[in-house]
Amino acid sequence: MSKPKRNWIYAFFVRCWFTAKMALNGVFSNTFRSALTILGVAIGVASVVSLMGIGEGARQNVIEQFESLGTNVISIKAHEAELEFQPEMAQELVERVNGLEIATPVVQTYTAMRWRRDRKEVDIIGVNQEFPKIRDHSQAAGEFFSPLHIEQRSYVAVLGYNVAAGLTGGRSPVGQTITLDGQSYRILGVLEPKGKGKAENIDDKVVIPYTTAQRIAKKRTVEEIWGKANSVEDAELATIQLGRIFKKELSGGRDTPAPTPTPEGSSTQETMVTTMGNVSPGQGGEDTDKNKDKDKAPSRKEKGMTITNLNQLVDELDEANRIMTLLLGGIAAVSLLVGGLGIMNIMLVAVTERTSEIGVRRALGAKKIDLLAQFLLEALYVSIIGVIAGIAVGIWGMGIFASYGFQTAISFEAIRIAAAVALGAGLLFGVYPAISASSLPPVEALRRR
């Protein structure tokens, strides 16, 4: 009993091997025509892989840009000089707002920097001692300034990585002095590099106490306050509470019309208001958690003040970029359909040209399943070669875009989708020609010879 069973298995594998070999010969029997069909599939796959890779690279770049600003960060920014904050407000908000862990006033300006014989304009950012914790930014060398430096308005500075590297050519400048706005500043430390364009280009800035920066900017107020919450949930709650505080303070404690609730799906917490006079929180702005949904954002956006939860901004931009990437992939996938139609075309022509071959095989005992498998394998071979070539060309194309400054990322999801669609299209569009070939009666096929 075992011998007939072995013979059956052997015959099955021989039949499969012969069918696969015949299919391969069929593909290469007309090399030029097969190459054109493979090219159609390859173009479709390459388009999907490259475009989705560019979209994925853009998405990752946006996420990295915002993540470099720190996690659970809330930004409060005045867009008009009359609305700027008193520096003491940063600590008052920490005490009043649940979940707000630390905060810093922010002064951004620029001035002339002199180092030995070199002189150039440099961006200045004035903050307090909590800046490294808020921005999750560690030191590459030295240390950050202390609360005492803030209180005494000390002439000390912490350099962004590129600024420090430009001054000393890679050596540590800690302990040396630079001149800002005609005044000598002692360098306390150097920040770790964030990368080009990251963290609002902090690598190219000089960080000093905000009290000292106010002298350079010639102002007593600050245009921004940055805060950090304990968690994602606390950041969302703190954003809502801050919105209520400032709406009530800026309205002079009077009741204001209830804002229109934010549409579902929109999570960015922004409150924009307009009024005159410097803002300082009072006792009337205490908040509770009830009715927080209706205080998310007013429907009217005017010049004034913006309160932004960076966590939610990252999520929204990430989702927007994902949709854009999918749209790019969908547009490119149209070429996969064209490639599938090309496979059907070449297979129909092959059936017409190889009618005599089909008749001879049927006359010699080939079954319908053998012919069906042969022509399906031919379509599959063309698809596989096209997929491999398309993936290679797509990755090569991303390299070209990257050489021109675009950020790209190989999306394995895009590769899987493109390969699956291309192989599926090859089999789908190869079914009809394969059925046509296997359905030809042997006598009719030999008569057409």
> Which tops the pLDDT comparison, 342 or 12?
342
Lowest mean pLDDT among 131-140, 221-230, 329-338: 329-338
Question: DSSP letters along 133-202, please?
Answer: HHTT--EEEE----HHHHHTT--EEEE-HHHHHHHHTTS--TT-EEEETTEEEEEEEEEPP--TT-TTTG
φ and ψ at 429, to 5 degrees? -80, -10
- 395 three-class SS: helix
> Could you tell me which residues come within 8 angstroms of residue 96 by beta carbon, excluding any fewer than 6 positions away?
241, 245, 281, 285, 286
- pLDDT confidence bin for 290, thresholds 50/70/90: very low
Per-residue pLDDT of 348-377, as tens digits, reads 777 777 776 777 776 667 777 877 888 888
Is the pLDDT assigned to residue 213 strictly greater than 90?
yes
- pLDDT confidence bin for 446, thresholds 50/70/90: low
User: For the whole model, what pTM was predicted?
Assistant: 0.66
Name the residue type at position 63: I
Question: Rounded to whole angstroms, how far apart are CA atoms 399 and 431?
Answer: 37
- pLDDT confidence bin for 284, thresholds 50/70/90: very low
Interhelix angle 310-353/355-363, nearest 10 degrees = 70
